[in-house]
Chain A
Amino acid sequence: MKLRTWIATAAAAVVAIPLAVGSASAYELTVPSMDYRTGPYAPNGIPFANGWTDYWTMLNERDGGINGVKIKVVPCETAYNTKQGVECYEKTKKEGSGALVYQPLSTGITYQLIPKASVDQIPIHSMGYGRTSAANGKVFKWVFNFPATYWSQASALVKYIGEKEGGMDKLKGKKIYLVYHNSAYGKEPIRTLQELAKKHGFTYQGLAVDHPGQEQKATWLKIRREKPDWILMWGWGVMNQVAIKEAASIRFPMDRFIGVWWSGSENDVKPAGAAAKGYLSGAFHQPGANFPVHKDIIKHLYDAGKAPHPDFKDRVGEVLYNRGLVAAMWASEAVRKAMEIHKTKEITGAMMRDGYEALDVDEARLKELGAEGLTIPVKITCENHEGPRKVAVQQWDGKEWKIVSNFYEPDMDVIQPLIDEDSQKFAKENNITPRDCK
């Protein structure tokens, strides 16, 4: 036993010495990047990961980090797999000076990390995905899901449909079908749509598509037979392009087919070719690379030969690239806020959480960041972790995505009770007393 203790101590010492030296050398803002550049969802994972990484790298190159503190991005490959995601989380959480925020990028991984976040004191930003009721900051202190949840998005898309039909009262008797990825992610909007169907009197039906979604013949046969007026889609990865192709093959009108914002990227529409023209999807930011921030990225990274993925230059500005970029931008603003609140440059995960909770990126600030009009202003409070709750609709014109509508606010009369119910249930199951936000 004594020998064993010795060995353990010796081993620990050997491991600890380089660590101690490493951490003594310099504090770095450590940001893990949960990549998935392999597996069936890689086409969606690569642009997001590049956007996320490029923004942080650009801050390093252009400004020398944030307030002079360098940023270290730690990539870890999850392959969009929950178990590998957990391994990645455990591996990266103590990396460098300690991980500041996780952007898990998969509903499955998000659910794994929610209970871990409060224990390890690292905030999670599940941007528009993950557990919807995490919008209730009183219960989910460590989780943020701004700018809008799936429930808000479902409601906003129904509002768009109502507008196109000429008023919410015209929805009565209409048929709205949902084609969804048969997983926790795809099931998110169901309850909201059921409630909205009751309220507005339209017929709702959900059609599940199993992972990975290459086989959808039966689903679209049913659609052809029953002729719904509108189709919503909660799809991901290869499922999106297959659905768009199938819709085209039954000649379903594309401008009555709306995807969630994870079903609206270049990868989803391009394989369907010209047939995809007119397809709609949700959005909370603009596509395109014409913003000053993109110019900085091109100048300081791609043209300077410092880009982590140099061959991606032509694709800067894709929908999912911009989404990664926007996520990184909000996170960097949270870092600034955290430094400001705690008056230190060496922030921890817990301080980062305070930064997120005090986040306030308004139009003026967006302009300073070189992203005026790129996305919507965000303001987070203690009880509302969902922020602005605004969703627009973008359309594929055959060449590029364009936002074609206003930003809609969801029907909170329907959604708030659902959020309260679900978060109360979580609080009860896990013995959490909701915070007092006064």
Chain B
Amino acid sequence: MFYRESGQFKTGYAADQAIFPILQDRWSMLVILVVGFVGVPLIIDDYWANAVFIPFLAYALAALGLNILTGYCGQLSLGTGGFLAVGAYSSYKLMTAFPGMDMILVLLGAGAVTAMVGLLFGLPSLRIKGFYLAVATLAAQFFLIWLFYKVPWFYNYNATGQISVPPREALGFLVTTQKADVVVRYLFILSVVTVFAIAAKNMVRGRIGRSWMAIRDMDIAAELIGIRPFSTKLSAFAVSSFFIGVAGALIFSVWLGAAESGETFGILESFLVLFMIIVGGLGSILGSFLGAGFIVLMPIGLKNVLVDWFGMTAVFAKHVEITLFGVLIIFFLIVEPHGLARLWQIIKEKLRLWPFPH
């Protein structure tokens, strides 16, 4: 009933090719954006910002990046943690080398550096596929983390190898360190993620996204219809790494404020982001957000419910949380192997017929 699109006629190509061709989608998107940009800042405090919204958005961006590579172009990658670290360390180097640089430029710079590194590590994908590529990207993960421990230049020769973010502004607003207003930090990261999500959505709808998907579905057939695997695969690596690099820079500068390569961006991060897109939905922009929401927010939600409502001790709640979290992942994957995004799609189809299914 609510989701019926009958009566919405499209009279031109532009309308037919809109990002959200259905009126209801456009409205709900608008509502989400208004809530995100206006509603949330009204109620946000340090806890909601630092423990919930900012990590969720940063990881959503990372998942978006990996989804481009793995979900859309079919190249399995386990190097996400390493690329996040490249983003973080290059943003740190940019911030300390050019103190007056605007944070937006820092983010773009960090993205560009990561894209370059991603290109380099994407080269093996031209020869190897599937699990073998996963191993090659795993090598990237270990190499990059090792590099950031080994070469003191990356952390400006300080005693411990920890990098700490200096205070920096974006368009005149302080966005890094604890001194920055939480609302400003939240709005900054939200704007960045919104822009990148729109860019991703448009990319995957366009020529480049279609060629990624063609390679994913069958690379030989794609080659036969004139898609060059070389530029297609490498562009997927570059774009994906760009996103992940920006996410890494945001995790370091806006969320955490200090980082250490192995601890913050270890192999676990790679798996975490991979789980996000598997749970959320491979090849889906919405899925990246749902997956990030699930993986980032579920443990925190569980913890708060178990400790605050059921009065468990912190340690017992932790054990329950670890178990329950695993069970939930398995449950969701059994119920819908194609991820939460697919679940949403099914709900949408049901809603179209509701309340009169035939």
| Chain A contact residues, CB within 8 Å of chain B | 1, 4-5, 8, 11-12, 35, 37-38, 75-77, 79, 82-83, 86-87, 90-91, 93-94, 107-108, 111-112, 114-116, 118-120, 131-133, 182-185, 187-188, 190-191, 208, 210-211, 418, 422, 425-426, 429-431
Given known pairs A38-B315, A429-B96, the reply for A86 and B256 (CB within 8 Å) is yes
Contact of A182 among B158, B257, B262, B264 (CB under 8 A): B262
Inter-chain contact B162/A184, CB cutoff 8 Å: yes
Inter-chain contact B43/A79, CB cutoff 8 Å: no
- B24-40: CB near A (< 8 Å → 1, else 0) gives 00000000001100110
Q: Is the interface of A mostly helix, strand, loop or mixed?
A: helix
In the assembled complex, 5 residue pairs joining A and B whose CB atoms fall closer than 8 Å, in A order, are A37-B314, A112-B258, A114-B258, A184-B160, A188-B159
Contact of B164 among A5, A90, A111, A183 (CB under 8 A): A111
Contact of B47 among A90, A114, A115, A422 (CB under 8 A): A90
Inter-chain contact B315/A115, CB cutoff 8 Å: no
CB distance from B85 to the nearest CB of A (A): 14
Residues of chain A contacted by B262 (CB below 8 angstroms): 182-183, 210-211
Nearest residue in A to B55 (C-beta to C-beta)? A83
Interface of chain B residues 304 through 353 with chain A (CB within 8 A): 304, 313-315, 317-319, 322
Residues of chain B contacted by A111 (CB below 8 angstroms): 162, 164, 258, 260
Given known pairs A12-B43, A182-B149, A422-B158, the reply for A75 and B313 (CB within 8 Å) is yes
Interface presence of B167 (CB below 8 A): yes
Residues of chain B contacted by A116 (CB below 8 angstroms): 178, 257
- B144-171: CB near A (< 8 Å → 1, else 0) gives 0000010000000011111011110000
CB distance from B124 to the nearest CB of A (A): 24
Interface presence of B16 (CB below 8 A): no
Q: What 8 A-B pairs come out closest when comparing CB atoms?
A: A184-B160, A37-B315, A111-B258, A77-B314, A119-B178, A87-B51, A90-B47, A75-B314
Inter-chain contact A183/B263, CB cutoff 8 Å: yes
User: Which of the four size classes fits the interface of chain B?
Assistant: 35 or more
Residues of chain B contacted by A211 (CB below 8 angstroms): 262-263, 266
Interface of chain B residues 166 through 212 with chain A (CB within 8 A): 166-167, 177-179
A77 to B264, CA, bound (A): 18
Given known pairs A8-B43, A12-B43, A187-B159, the reply for A35 and B315 (CB within 8 Å) is yes
Nearest residue in B to A210 (C-beta to C-beta)? B262
Interface presence of B218 (CB below 8 A): no
Inter-chain contact A82/B51, CB cutoff 8 Å: no
Not counting A108-B264, A182-B149, A185-B160, a sample of 14 additional A-B residue pairs whose C-beta atoms are within 8 angstroms of each other reads: A82-B263, A86-B50, A87-B300, A91-B47, A107-B160, A111-B164, A115-B164, A120-B178, A184-B160, A184-B162, A187-B161, A190-B159, A425-B158, A431-B167
Given known pairs A4-B35, A183-B260, the reply for A429 and B164 (CB within 8 Å) is yes
Interface of chain B residues 244 through 276 with chain A (CB within 8 A): 256-258, 260, 262-264, 266
A184 to B304, CA, bound (A): 30
CB distance from A308 to the nearest CB of B (A): 8
Nearest residue in B to A119 (C-beta to C-beta)? B178
Residues of chain B contacted by A86 (CB below 8 angstroms): 50-51, 256
Residues of chain B contacted by A182 (CB below 8 angstroms): 149, 262
- B222-249: CB near A (< 8 Å → 1, else 0) gives 0000000000000000000000000000
A1 to B42, CA, bound (A): 11
Interface presence of B46 (CB below 8 A): yes
Inter-chain contact B55/A108, CB cutoff 8 Å: no
Inter-chain contact B260/A108, CB cutoff 8 Å: yes
Nearest residue in B to A419 (C-beta to C-beta)? B159
Nearest residue in B to A422 (C-beta to C-beta)? B159
A76 to B149, CA, bound (A): 30
Residues of chain A contacted by B96 (CB below 8 angstroms): 429
A184 to B161, CA, bound (A): 6
Contact of B167 among A1, A75, A430 (CB under 8 A): A430
Inter-chain contact A82/B161, CB cutoff 8 Å: no
A118 to B167, CA, bound (A): 14
A107 to B161, CA, bound (A): 11
Inter-chain contact B160/A187, CB cutoff 8 Å: yes
Residues of chain A contacted by B257 (CB below 8 angstroms): 112, 115-116
Inter-chain contact B47/A112, CB cutoff 8 Å: no
Residues of chain A contacted by B313 (CB below 8 angstroms): 75
Residues of chain B contacted by A119 (CB below 8 angstroms): 178-179
A397 to B128, CA, bound (A): 56
Residues of chain A contacted by B260 (CB below 8 angstroms): 82, 108, 111, 183-184
Residues of chain A contacted by B177 (CB below 8 angstroms): 115, 430
A116 to B140, CA, bound (A): 33
Given known pairs A425-B158, A429-B96, A431-B167, the reply for A4 and B322 (CB within 8 Å) is no
Inter-chain contact A93/B166, CB cutoff 8 Å: no
A400 to B195, CA, bound (A): 61
Residues of chain A contacted by B322 (CB below 8 angstroms): 38
Inter-chain contact B46/A90, CB cutoff 8 Å: yes
Given known pairs A82-B264, A183-B262, the reply for A4 and B39 (CB within 8 Å) is yes
Interface of chain B residues 131 through 150 with chain A (CB within 8 A): 149
- B44-68: CB near A (< 8 Å → 1, else 0) gives 0011001100010000000000000
A373 to B158, CA, bound (A): 37
Nearest residue in A to B164 (C-beta to C-beta)? A111
Residues of chain B contacted by A8 (CB below 8 angstroms): 39, 42-43
CB distance from A295 to the nearest CB of B (A): 26
Nearest residue in B to A190 (C-beta to C-beta)? B159
Residues of chain A contacted by B179 (CB below 8 angstroms): 115, 119
A112 to B177, CA, bound (A): 10
A429 to B168, CA, bound (A): 11
Residues of chain B contacted by A79 (CB below 8 angstroms): 318
Nearest residue in B to A84 (C-beta to C-beta)? B299
Given known pairs A8-B42, A37-B315, A115-B177, the reply for A83 and B256 (CB within 8 Å) is yes
Residues of chain A contacted by B264 (CB below 8 angstroms): 82-83, 108
CB distance from B43 to the nearest CB of A (A): 5
- B9-32: CB near A (< 8 Å → 1, else 0) gives 000000000000000000000000
Residues of chain B contacted by A107 (CB below 8 angstroms): 160, 162
A418 to B160, CA, bound (A): 12
Residues of chain B contacted by A35 (CB below 8 angstroms): 314-315
Contact of B166 among A11, A91, A429 (CB under 8 A): A429
Contact of B319 among A38, A94, A132, A184 (CB under 8 A): A38
Inter-chain contact A5/B42, CB cutoff 8 Å: yes
Contact of B38 among A4, A76, A83 (CB under 8 A): A4
A77 to B320, CA, bound (A): 13
A240 to B303, CA, bound (A): 31
